[in-house]
Each structure stands twice: as structure tokens, then as C-alpha cells.
């Protein structure tokens, strides 16, 4: 049986502003990437999301981003190595505190938005994130873009790197995600997205925006919980996995095989 983790970015509401449908999606995923207050989320949202994760048995992960609430963490920022490292540790430490209070482990860390995309190509930025995570807990799994320099940075720091692919994003020939501003960067057809994801998990291949086929490692599949049809897509994806002989398993189980 082929196994894959299914992760989703969650806990991104802020104050009275609601983002996504966390309550409905959390029961469908094996890993929850919980916003830590810099791009979304606040202390109450963090605590509630951790409680939901505990209730449904998903693995809790920290989802740190740039300090950019207004831009939802999707704007590039020029921070120093030490600033990035401190920002990541601040956020991971906060989420870890909520996990400890709820008596569940913090399992992984996945950077968010512009921080994630920049670190996929910038080794110095990737190193800052990896060092930050290792100093907090070297047993934490770093969830990163498949084939990116974040994989090497994590391994160089002695961390386990789990590589993820995306259900609703197109790829460039270098394996990076197509910028959201680029036509075709978002996969809007559910059938196309489902077929692409099942193909990536089963064959380790994906077709880029230019039509070229490249190799990817799919330890985990990311779905986004803020889309208009996020819940319906999550339900269809779990059904497609079952039909394709793919079992959804937590990152801790996937990473024992790495």
C-alpha cells in the first residue's frame, strides 16, 4: 500500500475575521499546519485550533511566516539571517506552548507563503529556518517543498525533511511553484487537480506549466483550506486516494520510511 500524508494550512483566522473551514477539514487531514500569529492566527485561534487537532487526532505543526498580517505573509521581505531565525523560533515556540498546554506533541514545522517560497531557492534563508527549528527541538520534522534547497538545509542541520507537493498549484521546470500572479498558476479544475495529485504520489512525476514532465517526491500533499470549494475537494481527494490504493498516514509514520 502506498502511504502519503495529507496536510492543510489552518488556524489562519484573526480576531473577528474568519479564514477557511477548519472544523470541517481537520477531520480529513493527517497533519495540520497552524498559523502562529505573524501572517494569520491569534492566541485564541491558535488554542482553539490545537484543541480541534487533538479532538480529531491529526498531527500538530507550526506554520511560521513573515511578520505580515496585512499581506497574509505572501509579500517578500528582506530580513537578516538572525531576524528570520528569531522570527521562526518565536512562532514555533508559541505554538509549542499551546500544544504542551493541550498535552499533545508538536510534530512538524512548515514555513508559510513568501517565507516558504523564498527559502525554497535561497540556501541562507533555508539554513536560518532549519537552525531555528533544530535549536527548539531536533526531533521536529521540517515539511518543505519537494526538491527544494530546504531539503538539503534540513538534512544538513540533522533534521528529518518531509517533502510535499501541492494539489492546486502548477510547477515551474525547476520544481518551484508557479507565482500566483502567473496565468495558470492555480489549478481550478477539480478533476485535473485530483489526477495530478494521484499521479504525483504514485509515479513521482508532474507536468509543469510549460508541459515538461519533472520528478517530485510526494511524502505529503498540501491542500488549502481557504478556497471556495476546499472542503468538497478534500473529501474528493481522500476518495481518490482510496480508489487509487493510497493510504493517508501521519508524517511520523511516513518519515520512519525515509
Query: Between the ranges 124-133, 205-214, 217-226, where is the mean pLDDT highest?
Result: 124-133
Whether 26 shows a pLDDT value over 90: the answer reads yes
Spatial contact of 216 and 207, defined as CB atoms under 8 Å apart: no
Joined grid coordinates for residue 103: 498535552
Radius of gyration, alpha carbons of the chain: 17
Percent of the chain scoring above 70 in pLDDT = 98
Grid cell for residue 118: 523564498
Beta bridge pairs of residue 210? none
Cβ pair 223, 21 in contact under 8 A: no
Across all residues in the chain, what is the average pLDDT? 93
Res. 34: pLDDT tops 70: yes
Angle, helices 190-203 vs 230-243, to 10°: value is 40
Q: Rounded to whole angstroms, how far apart are CA atoms 151 and 130?
A: 9
Question: Band of the pLDDT at 258, cuts 50, 70, 90?
Answer: low
Q: Quick check: 156 pLDDT over 80?
A: yes
Query: Could you read off the pLDDT of 71-83 as tens digits, one per residue?
Result: 999 999 999 999 9
What is the structure's pLDDT at 158?
Answer: 97
Residues for the chain: how many in total?
A: 258
pLDDT value at position 228?
Answer: 58
Whole-model pTM: value is: 0.94
For 191, what's the count of Cα atoms within 13 Å in the CB-facing half-sphere? 0
Whole-angstrom distance, CA of residue 127 vs CA of residue 94? 21
Compute the average pLDDT of residues 151-164.
97
Shortest CA distance to 65 belongs to which of 14, 116, 11, 118? 116
Helix axes 81-102, 123-136, angle to 10 degrees: 40
State mean pLDDT over 55-59: 97
Residues 187-206: what's their mean pLDDT?
A: 91
What pLDDT does residue 218 have? 95
Instruction: Tell me the fold of 2-255.
Output: TIM Barrel (3.20.20)
Say how many C-beta atoms besides its own lie within 10 A of residue 54's C-beta: 14
CB 163 within 8 A of CB 138: no
Instruction: Determine the pLDDT at residue 226.
Output: 66
Q: If you average pLDDT over residues 12-39, what whole number do you get?
A: 94
Residue range 169-193: mean pLDDT, rounded: 87
Summarised one tens digit per residue, pLDDT across range 172-183 is 999 888 888 888
Residues 6+ apart with CB under 8 A from 155: 161
Q: What angle is formed at CA 178 by the lines to CA 176 and CA 179, rounded to 5 degrees? A: 115
pLDDT in tens, 37-54: 999 999 999 999 999 999
What is the number of other CB atoms lying within 10 angstroms of the CB of residue 240? Answer: 18
pLDDT score, position 233? 85
Average pLDDT over residues 147-159: 97
pLDDT band at 257 (very low <50, low <70, confident <90, very high): low
**Burial degree of 69 (CB within 10 A; 0-12, 13-18, 19+):** middle
CA gap 226, 165 in Å, rounded: 17
Q: Write down the domain spans for the chain.
A: 2-255
Amino acid at each position: 500500500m502506498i502511504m502519503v500524508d495529507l496536510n492543510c494550512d489552518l488556524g489562519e483566522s484573526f480576531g473577528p475575521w474568519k479564514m477557511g473551514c477548519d472544523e470541517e477539514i481537520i477531520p480529513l487531514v493527517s497533519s495540520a499546519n497552524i498559523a502562529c500569529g505573524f501572517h494569520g492566527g491569534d492566541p485564541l485561534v491558535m488554542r482553539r485550533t490545537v484543541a480541534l487537532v487533538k479532538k480529531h487526532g491529526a498531527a500538530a505543526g507550526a506554520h511560521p511566516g513573515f511578520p505580515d498580517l496585512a499581506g497574509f505573509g505572501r509579500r517578500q521581505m528582506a530580513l537578516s539571517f538572525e531576524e528570520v531565525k528569531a522570527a521562526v523560533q518565536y512562532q514555533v515556540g508559541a505554538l509549542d506552548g499551546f500544544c504542551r498546554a493541550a498535552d499533545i506533541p508538536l510534530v512538524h514545522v512548515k514555513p508559510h507563503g513568501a517565507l516558504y517560497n523564498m527559502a525554497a531557492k535561497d540556501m541562507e534563508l533555508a539554513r536560518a529556518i532549519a537552525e531555528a527549528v533544530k535549536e527548539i527541538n531536533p526531533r521536529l520534522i521540517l515539511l518543505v517543498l519537494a526538491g527544494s534547497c530546504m531539503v538539503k538545509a534540513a538534512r544538513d542541520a540533522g533534521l528529518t525533511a518531509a517533502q510535499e507537493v501541492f494539489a492546486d498549484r502548477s510547477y515551474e521546470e525547476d520544481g518551484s511553484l508557479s507565482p500566483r500572479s502567473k496565468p495558470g498558476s492555480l489549478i481550478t479544475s477539480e478533476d485535473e487537480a485530483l489526477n495530478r495529485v494521484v499521479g504525483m504520489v504514485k509515479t513521482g512525476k508532474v507536468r509543469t506549466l510549460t508541459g515538461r514532465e519533472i520528478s517530485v517526491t510526494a511524502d505529503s500533499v498540501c491542500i488549502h483550506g481557504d478556497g471556495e470549494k476546499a472542503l468538497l475537494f478534500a473529501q474528493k481527494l481522500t476518495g481518490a486516494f482510496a480508489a487509487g490504493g493510497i493510504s493517508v498516514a501521519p508524517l511520523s509514520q511516513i518519515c520512519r520510511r525515509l
